[in-house]
Amino acid sequence: MDVLPTTSFSKADRKSRSSAKSSVNSSSKPSLFLAFFSCFAWIYIAGRLWQDAENRKLLANLLQKNSNQRPKYLTVEDKLTVFGCRDLQRRIVEAEMELTLVKSQGYLQLQQSGSTSGKRLLAVIGVYTGFGSRLRRNVFRGSWMPKGDALKKLEERGVVIRFVIGRSANRGDSLDRNIDKENRTTNDFLIMDGHEEAEEELPKKAKFFFSTAVQKWDADFYVKVDDNIDIDLDALVELLESRRSQDNAYIGCMKSGEVVAEEGRPWYEPDWWKFGDEKSYFRHASGSLFILSKKFAQYININSASLKTYAYDDTSVGSWMMGLQATYIDDSRLCCSNARQDFKIYSIFVVDLMQKVC
């Protein structure tokens, strides 16, 4: 009988095969982990791509829907509307350009609230005053300045006179209350709520006065007067009447002089370096009394925010007039040194004030 061949394994062979199987099993574990991680990553990426595709599809549908709602063409009415808007825009631009030109020339028509009769006044005379000047005001009311019914009759003749004052730095304090109380009795103040009454703010007071006066009263002339001089009112009215046809008049006692560059000296000018090597002021009317035509008062009102002020109001106003087509009228009767009797303007106080005015 034939015997089938058999294979016999020694203990060493069995041991080597078992170690091979165990090494195969141990190496297959990380491979399975990597395969699982790769599948998960691909599923995640595929999900994001699918989500992005859905978002793009949704946006495309919204854009298509909006485009379908827009008109395919413009109707005649639509075209007329577009043309009308363009024409209106063009006219607005032209009107703005014209308004800018008018403002630059000082011709802006302002609503007047003080002259109820509709008749243009001859002049508005503003007498600068301060909180501590009640005695001076009483002297004025007892001399050349009318009061009570006489003041109203003068206004009927076309001349308005007011004491010009601002407000205290501490609004509503006793200084303001005293002025309000005095005004209720005399009714002869022009109180400028936007101006702070202080010595260092005096140059700005001119801007506030002319701006406020030209808005409140319609007059041919606006006159600034210090409260340390006396005036022949009838002669002043006569002067203004004779100049009524001149709508670009800048009237006063014209002067020039040295620009004081040394700080601490009287009349020191902080902006002295702007006046050149000669350090001399340009021609301007003395600050004790000067007169502006309505056109220039309007110009100051319109451009007050950009007008430069210097150390004193007379040089400040003179600098504004230099850039305009102003007719300078130097009238010697408005100078405090003049001794003529037909038109008296003289200081009623001490000599140092005389030197200040002159």
**Higher-scoring residue by pLDDT: 159, 310:** 159
CA dihedral 319, 223, 217, 170 (to 10 degrees): 80
At 114, list the tokens. Answer: 């003080």
The amino acid present at 93, given as its one-letter code, is: V
How does pLDDT run across 212-263, given as a tens digit for each residue? 999 999 999 999 999 888 888 999 999 999 999 888 999 999 988 777 766 7
pLDDT of residue 105: 56
pLDDT of residue 348: 33
pLDDT at position 342 over 50: no
* Mean pLDDT, rounded, for 162-174: 92
pLDDT at position 176 over 90: yes
How does pLDDT run across 318-338, given as a tens digit for each residue? 889 988 889 999 998 888 754
pLDDT of residue 16: 56
pLDDT at position 144 over 70: yes
pTM over 0.75: no
pLDDT of residue 242: 93
Mean pLDDT, all residues of the chain: 77
pLDDT of residue 22: 55
**Higher-scoring residue by pLDDT: 312, 7:** 312
How does pLDDT run across 99-140, given as a tens digit for each residue? 766 665 555 444 444 454 467 899 999 999 999 999 999 988
**Lowest mean pLDDT segment, chosen from 71-80, 131-140, 156-165, 286-295:** 71-80
**Higher-scoring residue by pLDDT: 70, 188:** 188
Helix (H, G, I), strand (E, B) or coil at 286: strand
pLDDT of residue 338: 45
pLDDT of residue 354: 32
* Percentage of the chain exceeding pLDDT 70: 70
DSSP conformational letter for 124: E
**Higher-scoring residue by pLDDT: 164, 73:** 164
State how far the Cα of 302 lies from the Cα of 40, in Å rounded to an integer: 77
State how far the Cα of 44 lies from the Cα of 275, in Å rounded to an integer: 81
pLDDT of residue 21: 53
* Mean pLDDT, rounded, for 84-98: 74
Torsion 242-244-250-251 (CA) sign: positive
At 180, list the tokens. Answer: 């309000």
Task: Show Cβ contacts of residue 349 under 8 Å, excluding neighbours closer than 6 positions.
Answer: 228
pLDDT of residue 184: 94
Task: Show Cβ contacts of residue 270 under 8 Å, excluding neighbours closer than 6 positions.
Answer: 263, 311
pLDDT grade, residue 46 (50/70/90)?
Answer: confident
* Mean pLDDT, rounded, for 290-300: 94
